Amino acid sequence: MKARHKRFVFVALAILGVGIAAALAISAMRSNLSYFFSPSQVAAGEAPTNALFRLGGLVVKDSLARQGDGLTLTFAVTDNAATLSVSYTGILPDLFGEGQGVVAKGRLGEDGVFYAEEVLAKHDESYMPPEVADSLRPVQAADGTETAAGR
């Protein structure tokens, strides 16, 4: 085999290797994506029913209920337009509480309950995830009155 052919084979193998590495990287990134939805979007059917996604809003006051096992708890999350029930098994962040901003990652069950695998709470008085803040921001209605987002 001539040196020219060897170079061609080497370049072809290098391009093939880079292509395979890029395909694997893109595949790994796609499997780790989780989109953000507000309770209004979930109620409207915009959220996937069989994939992980993030749900954000405020924890409704007086909605926390612990189950008998001590680790499972249910609570409601709202964006002031719609409310969704959330079930979580595990230890909650220290800053988690009623009336506080929360982002939960999980799946929507067939029963309409969001089953969270991970719960994140806001870290101080002034911080709220941008997606949550946008979904809670009042919007101007067609008649000129202000309503909560999504109403």
Q: Is the pLDDT at 101 greater than 50, yes or no?
A: yes
- The answer to whether the predicted template modeling score (pTM) of the entire model surpasses 0.85 is no
The 10s digit of each residue's pLDDT in 8-24 is 999 999 999 999 999 99
pLDDT band at 140, cuts 50/70/90?
A: very low
| Pairing relationship of beta strands 101-108 and 53-59 according to DSSP bridges | antiparallel
In this structure, the dihedral spanned by the alpha carbons of residues 36, 40, 41 and 47, taken in order and rounded to 10 degrees, is 80
CB 129 within 8 A of CB 101: yes
Q: Can you give the pLDDT at residue 141?
A: 46
Q: Which residue has the higher pLDDT, 81 or 123?
A: 81
